[in-house]
Structure 1
């Protein structure tokens, strides 16, 4: 097996030095990009992808107007991560990594996103309180329903949308300059509507309403046309091709993320949603009723691995897995092994090597499935074991604290 013992703090410092120095960039060629705000040409460096199947990225990126704004929409960190990474992965079908360079969204501002997410009728009061001037477009989330009080009104008419994510894909023109070649949009929808409603007495009332997934998905498709038209109204996005996706978020406390369920490609200048392509993906936790009922074979493989691991310290080890499926096929597996308490560093080394030997010699999952195993005590990571399709044996990294 490939083996590495690392001082965690030192590793972080070295990584930062590499990024700051830019020594791993290819500086032999000068890349030009047209700044969308000024129209001026700027010199940029391109961060290479991990492989030919991954996007190159602009570095440094220009100021992202909504950097970090996603945290105000998604209530679960796993959804924030999956929405961004998942959209990038799906975008490869529309904007090939061989032809396009990734840049975080530069066109939708917080006010544009809020304008879509406001309830119908809410937008006027919001614009007045924020001091916005000019024409205010109506919100696209459902208006408040009838009810005897604000809490009941909100509960009777849940919000369906929680965020709209933009990603930009730049293409090199004949003059050698990178310009916007395509945009990807993810509309994130609620599976659980959570909100904080202030009643007539000034008291804040938290609400949480479980929504019917089929109802939410149908609403998303029915209102996609309006959302697209709103995006087309943003300066710079009137003509560019748009890859448009719909995402159903997980519950706020869920351990695994939600899933994309539909996508469509909108050509140059079009404001019409055509046919939807189903996105068949699923995030599954092991062990769980979903895993044992829908993925019985993989659930058995996980149970075998968990039993083998727990033989080392039967009373002190817990194992949880997270599987990512596309079209019912396992594409990625993360395993978290939490140990109650290691006595010393040699115990960590011995246990990690034991787990790695299971992966190398008796692991039931296919070699084509990337596997990431995190060994922790409490919130502290002690070791990482990884295996990719290109590896004959697992890669092991043990951290010193």
Structure 2
């Protein structure tokens, strides 16, 4: 089979050096990559580096190899165009259809999915002109990944950092898998909870669960690849932040409730994939609880945590908001799932069987997605990303 053809556009920002890692991941995973840098990008990484790593000449202007008509052919033949980093200048040119070099010409001739990974200073990203350019590109079906928060050029810190190249690669992989239908969540804001809450008993102990957050993170990655603006409320997960997601870190069920309700105020869909503790200790010991010789420990009194899923379903922040829950069951899986769906009042409930060696911490999952209208969608055993895509398919259908 022919290798998927990827065009890696590199614009003139200091983060250009990170694109070398993205190029390596793309080529090593079996993609045929053509690097198209801007002239400014070559001030940061030279042509020899791009050519050596990709196996193709890296040219910037339409006047080179004119007989091959590169300004048309490269875009026509591509299965994916990804621009990383995408500077404010490049986003403006792409939004306004300018074509003054090979990369901007390629963007105009491409009929495949296009991904932009912006990188710039916070002030430039937040400028109204940049935000309008981003909105224009998203409206046309491009996937514009939200930049990360972190150290920028010099001593500055803020939003505008290029996301981790490995995470950009994951977005590209998902976009390629979906093809021209990749941006069906463009213009939508989705909120996802992931991980497992921990309820403190004393300064060193807590009540927790086995959730790793992998399913919630898979939901976030696939939503980004489908064009959504993603808020990920992550409870005690050690996974790398998904590229393009705004990550809010929480610890307890009460903290998760506060973060989810705040983010859900303008969300089109909320997916509660986190394993939220049903109970918490009624009393928190300010010092470590000591064991005493000859004495049994005092019983731990528990109180109920707020039911975040039921609260979201009962008081939807906006008309048409789709609410999705998860039910981890150990027995009578479907019967318990249907009862929970009715009790919680959500639109969809993802029901799966869990155990010490099932689902938690695994990269794979299987489930049945129950709907309030009585339908059921079986998802066979496979990668958690596959389940995530099924969930978003069902959500997208309900969003109209």
TM-score over 0.5 for the pair? no
**TM-score normalised by length of structure 2:** 0.27
Decide which structure has greater strand share.
1
Decide which structure has greater helix share.
2
